[in-house]
Chains A and B, each alone.
Chain A
Amino acid sequence: MNSLLVKLWQALVSGLSIGSIYALIAEGYYITFITTGTLNFGQGEFLMVGALFGLTCYVSFGLPYAVAVFAAVLLTGAMGFGLERVAIRPVMRHALSLSWVLSTVAVSIILKNAAVQLWGPEQVKFPSPFGESVVMIGSAGIFPQELFIIIAALGTVFAVQLLLRRSLFGKALIAVAFNRNAAAVVGINVRRVVVFAFVLSSALAGLGGILIAPITFAWAYMGTTPGIKAFAAAIFGGLDNPIGILIGGLVIGVLEQLFGVVNSNLKEGITFFFILIVLAIRPTGLMGGREITKV
């Protein structure tokens, strides 16, 4: 009985740490979705690049962890700039509303191939800067990296919200989200805001990658599942609601780990089952804005 309680307690902490990564990536979906109506389906591969590049900086180059984090964020941010140029801007004028789904998936496929060539197809251990020993909290053993993830990821989510609501550029982004044409009329450079949204979104994924790598493994195929789960988190909360997305990420992370305690076979499927139920009841997520039909 007591051991089950310990397991649940551990699952809760792991769930919160994975969930905050989902939330971090999903906030990236939110930022580009509100500004352009599109999002990067290859967000998971940006996470993977963040992890592997961070690993190279941290282990191969022996740079401090903080510098590695900074480098990974910088690289993925720059990749976001390229993504907007290559896969978003050219298809925005297309009538077909789902072109961006495939163009971003195409970029992610190319990134995966590049990662296999650069880093090989094997899983690599990413040593945690906080060591591999467990900290006992109550009777449960917790990795310090897990606690660091929760603090760093949630801190970033809040910092981004602060940036959006307080800074001039953040306000410009919100203005574009609210009404693109009106924003352009009052002198906001919409194109620059869109580029910024993709840079920020991609950088968040890169940060997620280097944060999560020490508790999983770093390898070319690590991104797909967290990318999709984060998408589920964003959909669960409602793509246009940052609070809903945060809750969605944490709920999905915890739900997964708790079901993992009961039966490891249920762990992988539960998120998707859950999201199907949510969408059947509320087609724009639990906290998403409802569509009002105007005739």
Chain B
Amino acid sequence: MQLPIFAYSGPKHWVLFVLAALMLALLPIFFSDPFFILVMQSLGYLFIATLGLDILVGWTGQISLGHAGLFAIGAYTSALASTRLGFPFWVSAPFGVVIAGLFGSALAIPSLRARGPYLAMVTIAFGFMVEVTSNRWSFTGGPMGIMSIPAPTLPDGNEMTPIQYFWLIAGVALLCQLFAANMFRARLGRTLLALQGSEIAAQSLGINVYRYKVLAFVISSVYAGIGGVFFAHQNGFINSDTFVFSLSVSFLTSALMGGSGTLFGPLVGSVILNLIPTVFAGLQEYQLYIYGGIILVTIVFLPKGIVGSLRQIPLFHAWRRPHATIASDPSVLDFPSSTVNEEPVLAVHGLAKNFGGVRALSGVDMTITRGSVHGLIGPNGSGKSTFINVVTGVFRPSAGKITLFGNKELRPLGPHHIAAYGIIRTFQNVHLFGELSVIDNVMVGFHLQLKCGFFAHLLQTPAAVVEEVTFRRKALALLEFLSIAERANEQAKNLSYGQQRRVEIARALAARPQLLMLDEPAAGLNPTELHHLAHIISDIKAAGVTLLVIEHHMELIMGISDVISVFDFGQKIAEGSSVAVRQNDKVIEAYLGVAESHGAAVDA
């Protein structure tokens, strides 16, 4: 099958940027009014900071109401380095950006686990701390701030003219946009959107959630820092009055107004919002009415922002042309576990898990033979899902030993470490990355196999582009394997439940499992889909992958399993072939109950 691909940086992408560069270069030649140049400079650095914030808000779904603080740190660091230490702009500016990035990584720590209003508080508190500190500390000039910050100099020793400074800001802004586009369209953007969709599913595919969240914070802070540096050297004077809460609000508003998570949203939003004071300069008294009104109207009527709403107009759909098509690469279906190794894939001994006083698992011993389909059944609440959760590191075991491949004892590590061993799972209540396309969901599954890192994707090196295409072809093959390839470019959340389950299996297979654990794969499927699922499972087994299947559908589980274990009240009560389990008294008792002891007397 051939699949058109849309989101790619190709020649068209570069042409667009060359055109934009040309336009920005010519702009001040045609409009050389000093006030106009000044406004354009400001738009440039405010845009960069907004773009940075949008990387956080649009890509990771986190909120920041403290970006003015990061903007301030860039500005103050560069201003101090150039006035107190006499550093030239070309040294102080990168210094300011680096320090802003460092503060961003520190800010990430309290932000990692905090959500919603709590996360908002973290960022608000940070913003206020920066404002108050810079206002009170003598080192930062106190309320007076820092004066006579030098303008950047040219190699010949002369100061840059405002037009030259505009060119510098515009050039950097363009690069920032280009880098953001590169990151967004490739691995990083995909991974961050995946985290936004489901952190637990992302971890189960080997993604280190903390690392990516910190990375998003750092990138965002670096962008804010760049904005701040340009601001300081444009103005020549800074004090804490600039870096207040309302600046953070205006960054966030710009991002949301333009359309957060869209490529050009931050540009549109920051230009419109920041032009308001200039355009309505005559209406000084009503400025805040207009400003507040515009925020309210956009939030209420354009929830996806200007760009986000425009994208929904069919005209713009037609505009979107696929960049290329790819063919599937079925080599992905050769699984590594077909190599002969007779040791059991997984062995647990005395595994226990307590939740407070509830013993969800107690003293479970179980061995999963390589190449088998191991069924796991039991009444609701018998500990089946807890078993998967403990083995995959979602929960820490209270007691017991987990051994992989006969020799590797599993320590209670994070789920992403366990995924790296090839222990991959699906979820009882499907955890797809809803905002991503179906094929991108599968691409996230390849996370641990992708070699090209952050900088390769940032610069779109040939290796990175080739790798993307290579794995996209493999992803397509997996979707074909699960008969869902025709929906590859749709958003995962738009699929039916049964289709979503198949996508989830494809995504799990992308992670090259040694042991694939399916948690109630048949739940919610119709009879046709059920039949299909049985085939899929036997195909996966034939490909050499060991499976553990939790299921309530008896016909299915009896048909596909080589061995079945039965749980009841957190204990394994039976194990054996489907025939043996079906005739086991304890199993019958667990499922059907047993006549009370005096019942026999009544019969007699």
Chain A residues packing against B (C-beta within 8 Å): 33, 37, 39, 86-87, 90-91, 94-99, 101-103, 105-110, 112-114, 116-117, 224, 228, 231-232, 235, 239, 265, 268-269, 271-273, 275-276, 279-280, 283-285, 288, 291, 293, 295
Contacts and interface: CB of A to CB of B under 8 A. Distances in A.
B121 A102 contact: no
A224 B245 contact: yes
**Which of A112, A232, A272 counts the most B-chain CB atoms under 10 A from its CB?**
A272
Interface string B35-64: 000000000000000000000010001010
Contacts of A97: 61, 116
A295 to B, nearest CB: 6
Contact of B292 (A91, A106, A239, A291): A106
13 contacts: A33-B117, A96-B304, A101-B252, A102-B299, A103-B300, A105-B295, A109-B288, A109-B291, A110-B296, A231-B124, A272-B129, A276-B126, A284-B118
B125 interface: yes
Interface string B85-126: 000000000000000000000000110011111101110111
A87 B125 contact: no
Contacts of B452: none
A90 to B, nearest CB: 4
Given A91-B300, A106-B293, A228 B124 contact: yes
Contacts of A235: 117-118, 121
A219 to B, nearest CB: 15
B323 interface: no
Contacts of B296: 86-87, 103, 106-107, 110
Contacts of B299: 91, 99, 102-103, 106
Contact of A265 (B65, B109, B116, B136): B136
B223 interface: no
A62 to B, nearest CB: 30
A293 B393 CA distance: 13
Contact of A107 (B125, B292, B427): B292
A14 to B, nearest CB: 19
Contacts of A105: 249, 295
Nearest to B260: A96
Contacts of B295: 102-103, 105-106, 109
Contacts of A94: 303
Name A's interface SS. helix
Interface in B290-314: 291-293, 295-296, 299-300, 303-304
A10 to B, nearest CB: 22
B63 A272 contact: no
**Which of B113, B252, B431 counts the most A-chain CB atoms under 10 A from its CB?**
B113
B589 interface: no
A42 B505 CA distance: 46
A112 B129 contact: no
A276 B129 contact: yes
B132 interface: yes
Given A103-B300, A275-B121, 18 more contacts: A33-B117, A37-B116, A39-B117, A96-B304, A101-B63, A101-B120, A102-B253, A106-B292, A106-B296, A107-B292, A110-B288, A113-B289, A114-B289, A232-B121, A239-B117, A268-B136, A275-B122, A295-B389
Given A112-B288, A268-B136, A283 B113 contact: yes
B394 A113 contact: no
Contacts of B389: 295
Contacts of A103: 295-296, 299-300
Nearest to A96: B303
Contacts of B285: 117
B109 A110 contact: no
Nearest to B304: A96
A268 B143 CA distance: 14
A279 B122 contact: yes
Contact of A90 (B200, B300, B304): B300
Nearest to A29: B117
B300 A295 contact: no
A103 B253 CA distance: 10
B128 A269 contact: yes
B63 A98 contact: yes
Interface string B555-574: 00000000000000000000
B256 interface: yes
Contacts of A117: 285
Contacts of B293: 106, 110
A291 B115 contact: yes
Contacts of B128: 228, 268-269, 272
Given A102-B256, A106-B292, A269 B394 contact: no
Nearest to B66: A272
B415 to A, nearest CB: 10
B538 interface: no
B338 interface: no
Given A109-B292, A272-B125, A228 B245 contact: yes
B419 to A, nearest CB: 14
B70 to A, nearest CB: 15
A285 B285 CA distance: 40
Contacts of A276: 110, 122, 125-126, 129
A119 to B, nearest CB: 14
**Which of B114, B286, B299, B427 counts the most A-chain CB atoms under 10 A from its CB?**
B299
B585 to A, nearest CB: 32
Contacts of B249: 102, 105
Contacts of B287: 113
Contact of A283 (B115, B124, B304): B115
Contact of B288 (A99, A102, A113, A228): A113
Contacts of B133: 269
A209 to B, nearest CB: 19
A124 B51 CA distance: 41
Nearest to A277: B110
Interface in B261-304: 285-289, 291-293, 295-296, 299-300, 303-304
A110 B136 contact: no
A272 B292 CA distance: 26
Contacts of B460: none
B208 interface: no
